[in-house]
């Protein structure tokens, strides 16, 4: 209960009022008691002095002889109903009571004053020593308290002849004080009750808005930002409520902006072409986009389980979070046969402490492949040109520097001419590929009959076929529908495919050419039982300058560009070319062209 600020406030308020009332009560009661006793003391002193100066018997030096007169004088003067006066004479150094206003004075006359319970001997002795003495004495075996005053009386020669000893019952004084205490206690109790009530009201007026703000803040902490606090005053509490409402509004707007930005970032993160992962300082993946999960073969469970990752693919040296130079860089890594440019850099928290690294995977497999192809292309072109140029140069220098007979002269010129033709074919093929690449080739498309074209090509190759004693089987469907294409380009493709089949098939081989159509396309197949192509080479067979057996291909006069040109021409006509082969079994090339 006391953990609540309301009850703390009420308790503090209660204690403040209680302590204040107690302090005030102590001062008031103490002051009242002192005033009452002081008033009683003054009255007693005045009465004693009046009796001393007004009584001729007390003024005489011989009290023993005049003690009856003194007793009568005391009776005549009279004292208060709650007061008692004793006349004590110093008889041979023994304080003796010679007169009294007590009702039982006859019993105490002549008695030693120091032995009486109702007389304080210390006060008597003090008075006989010349001092006016007074004290408050509590009644023996009783609750009443009395004021005692011992007043010395001097003789004509300046000696103390006796004392007047007066006692006054202070019952009325303490009754008044007790009544005052009762009144103050009641007033204090009433004040405390009022204090508790008012404190509760005041505390409630303070704590209720705070409690309302607390409940609304708790709901905000749970994600519900549609909270509003009623402003009921213009004081600090009201200002707190107003600021809470302002904070809620601004926080809601900020979170909406953050959600929008987070949505944008998530969209970018999830749909970006590069793979991105975030790794903490323990080497565990804390976030990864779909591309990165595919690259690293991760699953959703791996992210939840804080799967650690081997960072050796980033660089040769170990990642050291104490050495920032190891946390940023770019590497080329091969992951699952794919080539990636891996960029990484550290990320920091709001205290500028490194929390881990961000790794970006950029797939450069195609670029890497193209770069290798470019290098290989340059090397192949250089080699293809170098060989004939070297041959031409050496033969030319021989002819220029030496005298040769006509037969050798003609043979050298024949070699030079052959190498020139070889370079011309290479340049022609390169120019054709270049024109196709840069869309500079103008295709003169017309309706073409494949039946007629295949017959013409077979006739052109008849001499070569007979030289190698090949058997050509034609399985051509009659009256094939025409295709809309460039006649020279398609003829070049088919001629290249059949020529390759003849070239790479041993003597007395079988070449089968078949053609048929479906509803949407025309299909042409050229099959041989030649040397075949290894499986590893089949994926690259359509690349420029790629040869399966480079030495043997050059011996047969190939440039390595025929199939790549064929592929470019076929695809330029919205067709496709594919190849199936097995070493020692043969090769089948399939061409598909869309029908008109």
The enclosing domain of 587 has a CATH number of 3.30.565.10
**What is the pLDDT at residue 526?**
93
Q: Is residue 129 part of a domain?
A: yes
CB 82 within 8 A of CB 168: yes
Question: What is the rounded distance in angstroms from the CA atom of residue 460 to the CA atom of residue 498?
Answer: 11
429 with 510, same domain: the answer is no
Written as six digits, the tokens of 487 are: 């006649």
495 with 585, same domain: the answer is yes
pLDDT tens per residue across span 294-320:
887 777 777 676 667 666 666 555 677
Q: Which of 108-117, 240-249, 455-464 has the highest mean pLDDT?
A: 455-464
User: Would you place residue 13 in the very low, low, confident or very high pLDDT band (cuts 50, 70, 90)?
Assistant: confident
428 with 466, same domain: the answer is no
534 with 454, same domain: the answer is yes
**What is the pLDDT at residue 576?**
93
DSSP per-residue string spanning 544-556: TT--SSHHHHHHT
Question: What is the rounded distance in angstroms from the CA atom of residue 95 to the CA atom of residue 531?
Answer: 161
474 with 559, same domain: the answer is yes
Q: Is 349 helix (H, G, I), strand (E, B) or coil?
A: coil
Question: What is the rounded distance in angstroms from the CA atom of residue 461 to the CA atom of residue 464?
Answer: 5
Q: Is residue 477 part of a domain?
A: yes
Q: Is residue 425 part of a domain?
A: yes
Q: Is residue 32 part of a domain?
A: no
**What is the pLDDT at residue 588?**
93
Q: Provide the CATH number for the domain around residue 158.
A: 3.30.450.20
96 with 139, same domain: the answer is yes
Q: Is 83 helix (H, G, I), strand (E, B) or coil?
A: strand
**What is the pLDDT at residue 553?**
47
H or E stretch at 528:
strand 521-528
Q: Picking from 86-100, 188-202, 367-381, 437-451, which range would have the lowest pLDDT averaged per residue?
A: 367-381
Q: What is the mean pLDDT of the chain?
A: 81
589 with 471, same domain: the answer is yes
Q: Is residue 106 part of a domain?
A: yes
**What is the pLDDT at residue 512?**
93
pLDDT tens per residue across span 376-420:
777 777 767 777 888 888 878 887 877 777 788 788 888 888 778
Q: Average the pLDDT over 464-478 and give the result.
A: 90
With vertex at residue 163, the alpha carbon angle to CA 161 and CA 165, rounded to the nearest 5 degrees, is: 165
pLDDT tens per residue across span 548-571:
665 444 445 456 677 888 888 888
Query: Which of 421, 437, 453 is a domain's end point?
Result: 437
DSSP 308: B
357 with 426, same domain: the answer is no
578 with 473, same domain: the answer is yes
Q: Average the pLDDT over 211-233 and give the result.
A: 75
- Matching residue, tokens 């005033």: 35
478 with 429, same domain: the answer is no
**Nearest alpha-carbon partner for 340 in 273, 257, 279:** 273
CB 203 within 8 A of CB 210: no
- Please tell me the pTM assigned to this model: 0.45
Answer yes or no: is pLDDT of 247 > 90: no
Question: What is the rounded distance in angstroms from the CA atom of residue 372 to the CA atom of residue 364?
Answer: 12
Between 321 and 335, whose confidence is greater?
A: 335
451 with 583, same domain: the answer is yes
**What is the pLDDT at residue 522?**
93
581 with 453, same domain: the answer is yes
**What is the pLDDT at residue 590?**
93
**What is the pLDDT at residue 552?**
46
Q: Is residue 578 part of a domain?
A: yes
Query: Which of 437, 467, 485 is a domain's end point?
Result: 437
User: Which residue range forms the structural domain that includes residue 126?
Assistant: 78-169
Domain total of the chain: 4
Say if residue 3 is exposed, middle or buried (CB neighbours under 10 Å; 0-12, 13-18, 19+): exposed
């Amino acid at each position: 209960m006391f953990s609540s600020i309301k009850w703390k406030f009420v308790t503090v308020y209660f204690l403040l009022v209680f302590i204040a009332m107690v302090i005030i009560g102590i001062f008031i009661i103490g002051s009242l008691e002192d005033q009452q006793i002081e008033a009683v003391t003054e009255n007693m002193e005045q009465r004693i002095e009046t009796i001393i100066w007004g009584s001729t018997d007390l003024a005489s030096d011989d009290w023993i002889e005049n003690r009856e007169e003194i007793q009568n004088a005391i009776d005549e003067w009279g004292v208060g109903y709650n007061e008692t006066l004793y006349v004590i004479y110093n008889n041979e150094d023994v304080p003796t009571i010679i007169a009294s206003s007590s009702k039982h004075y006859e019993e105490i006359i002549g008695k030693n004053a120091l032995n009486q319970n109702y007389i304080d001997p210390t006060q008597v002795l003090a008075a006989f020593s010349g001092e006016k003495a007074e004290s408050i004495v509590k009644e023996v075996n009783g609750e009443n308290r009395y004021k005692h005053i011992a007043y010395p009386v001097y003789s004509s020669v300046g000696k103390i002849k006796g004392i007047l000893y007066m006692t006054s019952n202070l019952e009325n004084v303490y009754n008044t004080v007790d009544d005052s205490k009762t009144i103050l206690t009641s007033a204090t109790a009433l004040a405390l009750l009022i204090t508790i009530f008012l404190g509760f009201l005041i505390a409630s007026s303070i704590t209720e808005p705070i409690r309302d703000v607390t409940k609304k803040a708790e709901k905000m902490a749970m994600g519900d930002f549609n909270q509003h606090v009623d402003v009921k005053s213009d004081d600090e509490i009201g200002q707190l409520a107003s600021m809470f409402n302002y904070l809620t509004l601004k926080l809601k707007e900020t979170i909406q902006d953050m959600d929008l930005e987070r949505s944008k970032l998530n969209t970018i993160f999830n749909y970006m072409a590069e793979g991105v992962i975030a790794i903490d300082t323990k080497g565990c993946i804390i976030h990864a986009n779909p591309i990165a999960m595919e690259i690293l073969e991760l699953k959703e469970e791996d992210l939840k389980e804080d799967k650690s990752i081997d960072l050796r693919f980033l660089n040769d040296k170990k990642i050291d979070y104490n050495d920032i130079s190891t946390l940023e860089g770019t590497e080329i890594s091969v992951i699952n046969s794919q080539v990636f440019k891996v960029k990484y850099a550290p990320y920091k928290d709001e205290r500028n402490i490194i929390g881990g690294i961000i790794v970006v995977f950029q797939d450069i497999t195609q670029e890497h492949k193209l770069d290798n192809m470019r290098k290989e292309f340059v090397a192949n072109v250089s080699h293809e040109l170098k060989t004939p140029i070297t041959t031409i140069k050496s033969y030319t220098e021989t002819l220029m520097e030496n005298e040769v007979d006509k037969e050798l002269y003609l043979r050298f010129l024949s070699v030079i001419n052959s190498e020139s033709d070889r370079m011309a074919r290479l340049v022609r093929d390169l120019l054709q590929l270049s024109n196709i690449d840069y869309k500079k080739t103008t295709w003169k498309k017309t309706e073409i009959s494949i039946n007629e074209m295949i017959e013409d090509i077979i006739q052109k190759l008849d001499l070569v076929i007979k030289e190698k004693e090949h058997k050509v089987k034609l399985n051509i469907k009659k009256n094939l529908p025409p295709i809309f294409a460039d006649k020279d380009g398609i003829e070049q493709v088919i001629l290249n495919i059949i020529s390759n089949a003849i070239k790479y098939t041993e003597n007395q081989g079988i070449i089968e050419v078949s053609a048929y159509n479906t509803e949407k396309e025309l299909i042409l197949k050229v099959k041989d039982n030649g040397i075949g192509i290894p499986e590893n080479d089949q994926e690259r067979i359509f690349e420029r300058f790629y040869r399966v057996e480079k030495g043997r291909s050059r011996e047969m006069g190939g440039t390595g560009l025929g199939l790549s040109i064929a592929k470019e021409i076929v695809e330029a006509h919205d067709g496709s070319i594919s190849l199936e082969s097995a070493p020692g079994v043969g090769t089948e090339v399939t061409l598909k062209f869309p029908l008109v």
